[in-house]
Amino acid sequence: MKTLFLDFDGVLHPEHCHESRHFCCLSVFEQVLRSVPDWEVVITSTWRLQIPLESLRDRFSPDVALRIIGVTTPFSHLQSVPDSLKAFEREAECSAWLRGNDRAVFPWLAIDDRSWLYRPFNRSLFLVDGKTGLTAADTQALIDRMSSL
């Protein structure tokens, strides 16, 4: 079981873009996911704080939506955060989800545009330029990274 943690803002569309551009990079993401069928998706985006999981899934194509299995618990609700993760909220959320779902020993990758939410040099982070979101130029590198895990 391989888990992909997905941010929206800065990944599925450029950070701070007009809402008319929301999810403009979705087709690129879905292309990647279809190339790596053994991966499931967990949403880490702050959108999860205001929108129910079913409504978040509705933004995706049906085949991709089926692979979205959950959302992470917000950092403020986590218990027993290891000292090494207290300054890295998003990674702490991912780690808690993995532990809570018996996946701590399985490969995982986070797609995000905010490196400071993860420990420096975290090899489980695929960093995207938040000004553009996930681009076609990122596609092969992301597929290769996911296929190698």
**Per-residue pLDDT tens for 88-100?**
999 999 999 999 9
Burial class (CB in 10 A: 0-12, 13-18, 19+), 17: middle
- How far is Cα 42 from Cα 20, in angstroms, rounded to an integer? 24
Whole-prediction pTM: 0.97
What is the arithmetic mean of pLDDT over 101-121?
97
Does domain 2-148 correspond to CATH entry 3.40.50.2000? no
What are the residue boundaries of the structural domains of the chain, listed by start?
A: 2-148
**Per-residue pLDDT tens for 14-33?**
999 999 999 999 999 999 99
